[in-house]
Amino acid sequence: MDIRGILLVNSEQRVAEHQTLGAQLATLDVVGKSTLQRMAERLQQYGISSVSAVVEATSNSGVRNLGLPSDVSCVSAAPDRFWRTAESVFNDMAQSGAELVILIRLGAYAEVDFEKQVQFHIDRKERVTRMASDEQMLEIFCISASRRNDAASLFRTQLAHCRSECPVLQHDGYINSLATARDLRQFAIDILTRQTQTCPAGKEIKPGVWTAPGAMIEKGARVLAPAFVGSLARIRSGAVITRCSSVERHAEVDCGTVVENSTVLSFSYVGAGLDLAHSLAGMGRVVNLHRDVTVTIVDRKLIASMSVASGKRFVASAAEVLAYLPKLAFQGIFAANKAEKADLHTTLKKTSPALGTAAGFETSACDTEASHKFPNMVVARRYGHQ
């Protein structure tokens, strides 16, 4: 039987922008792979080899960087032509001999047993069948390819109504609605704690710690399980990645920063000496899940997004090196020749290097009355890495 799959990704209008990072969540990497990628791979695991993805082109997401398997065709569509494009992809499949088409709008990530779904569709002898989880209807359909009018009515109503009766199959596996940043974070936790069938996209270097090829963890950095470091991501010296944190591909966590129960999105930079906790960081924003607030960070020393194009990234880092060398030479010639003797107490008094030099600032959490009484007492940070 010729079964094919269509994956639809467009902007979710029902969810407020502050909850979604202003991006299509299905295209964002979660523990190494996007939901779109994971769903395409799942379809292929069930023997549905011909899969097409229709992705709405937005300014925030580059369609060329979706990282889909090579045999999955990807069609980009303008927002106003999205549903027409999806319909024409379905028609093309029907014309080229498909008998059944599995249509999935992301959306929710559900670990569907497609074999069971197809069997249900065949047994019921219906034109269109749908999946549901408890009381919630999922946007996962099985359509008989010959029933073009039924498919057309579905596409024209944006999957809201079907022309004919649409029997529902209950889904009893893992599901994540992926509607907000909180869901995205939960999805990462579920993958890292192995509550899903889908796995982290990397090699388990020690129990609970996965790294993708090219991930760079500098000496002195600590990655505590469960955690994930994506391909070509960089964890600088003194940084700590802990409690189900995930640093996605090409992201960088600078020296001394603690990433706790957080996700650093792809192509993002997190500055030195920061505390990123219970958050999603990337695209110049931080979504704090405790406070349920999205904050735009304008200061590139704190959070910045890096260019997706490798050429631009290379030029930016070359410019950084060129600017750094004269500065270093100037400091070598003119700066005071006094070597700074660093001890633990002085180090603990310092605030984040990302803040620059707060002139004359010498107060910190350890500068208490007790510390004057007991000069040998130090206050250590809870991770004990400093």
Cα of 186 vs its chain's centroid, Å: 11
Establish if 16 lies at the interface with other proteins (CB under 8 A).
no
DSSP 8-class letter at 150: H
Residues 256-275 that bind other proteins (CB under 8 A): 273-275
Sign of the torsion angle spanned by Cα atoms 35, 37, 40, 46:
negative
Left, alpha or beta for 97 (phi > 0: left; psi -120 to 50: alpha)?
left
Among positions 69, 363, 374, 380, the unique one binding other proteins when judged by CB under 8 A: 363
Between strands 100-106 and 136-144, the pairing is antiparallel
CB under 8 Å to 136, separation ≥6 — which residues?
A: 177
Residues 143-172 that bind other proteins (CB under 8 A): none
By beta-carbon proximity to other proteins, the closer residue of 219 and 372 is: 372
d(CA 85, CA 96) in angstroms, rounded, equals 17
Establish if 283 lies at the interface with other proteins (CB under 8 A).
no
Between strands 3-9 and 100-106, the pairing is parallel
By beta-carbon proximity to other proteins, the closer residue of 125 and 382 is: 382
Establish if 340 lies at the interface with other proteins (CB under 8 A).
no
CB under 8 Å to 348, separation ≥6 — which residues?
A: 364, 366, 378, 379, 380, 386
Establish if 232 lies at the interface with other proteins (CB under 8 A).
no
Among positions 311, 326, 356, 375, the unique one binding other proteins when judged by CB under 8 A: 356
By beta-carbon proximity to other proteins, the closer residue of 135 and 369 is: 369
Establish if 324 lies at the interface with other proteins (CB under 8 A).
no
Cα of 369 vs its chain's centroid, Å: 45
At 244 the three-state DSSP class reads: coil
> Which residues on neighbouring strands pair with residue 337, listed in sequence order?
none
Establish if 8 lies at the interface with other proteins (CB under 8 A).
no
> Which residues on neighbouring strands pair with residue 74, listed in sequence order?
53
Establish if 295 lies at the interface with other proteins (CB under 8 A).
yes
Establish if 301 lies at the interface with other proteins (CB under 8 A).
yes
Among positions 359, 373, 375, 376, the unique one binding other proteins when judged by CB under 8 A: 359
Establish if 192 lies at the interface with other proteins (CB under 8 A).
no
Smallest distance, Å, CB 275 to other proteins? 5
Smallest distance, Å, CB 365 to other proteins? 5
Contacts with other proteins by CB under 8 A lie at 273-277, 286, 288, 291, 293, 295-299, 301-303, 351-352, 354-365
